[in-house]
Amino acid sequence: MSAVTLPTGYTPRPVTPADLSAFHAVMMAAGMDPRSSWSRVTPADLAASLFGPGAGGFVALAGEEVVGVVGYRPDGPRTLTLNKLATVPTARGLGLGAALVAAVEAHARAQGYGRVLLAVSRYNLDVLPFYAHLGYVRSDEPYAHAHPASPPPAVLVKDLT
């Protein structure tokens, strides 16, 4: 992740099992609509998502405090799926989210993935301009990990080749 720069005073690093509680707290503090499947994510769900084969993530620290998070997992030989991007409200607008997305993209390139895919909850569509600014475009492909109790998400893809 050396090519990714966070704003002064913030430090990036790969997520560890010791971060699960803080990672979960940042997700819950992000203010996602309670109808979203995010509101039902538990630390145990995070452990399975972040530490499965080929999966992982990054945290952004302000001192020792986790203030931003992102996860990823492989979805076939060409696609790395970005998930669980969140920052605490007090750290918004500083570029942490973009830096965490760039960290996932750098990891995807280093691992030979040709694209990054992500899904946006139908209850969080106001983030679409953020991802468009980072080069993501809407796709009509289905999202394999959609929660069955939630409406289908908006799928976005960025080609890394």
Q: Which of helix, strand or coil describes residue 134?
A: coil
Predicted TM-score (pTM) of this structure:
0.92
User: Top-level CATH class of 10-159?
Assistant: alpha beta
Other C-beta atoms closer than 10 Å to the C-beta of 111 total 11
Position 76, amino acid: G
pLDDT tens-digit map of 63-111:
999 999 999 999 999 999 999 999 999 998 899 999 999 999 999 999 9
Pairing mode of beta strands 79-87, 115-120: parallel
Q: What is the pLDDT of residues 101-140, one digit of tens each?
A: 999 999 999 999 999 999 998 888 999 999 999 999 999 9
pLDDT per position as a tens digit, 21-47? 999 999 999 888 777 777 778 899 999
12: closest CA among 106, 103, 107, 105? 103
Domain ranges of the chain: 10-159
φ, ψ (nearest 5 deg) of residue 77: -70, -20
> Which amino acid, residue 91?
A
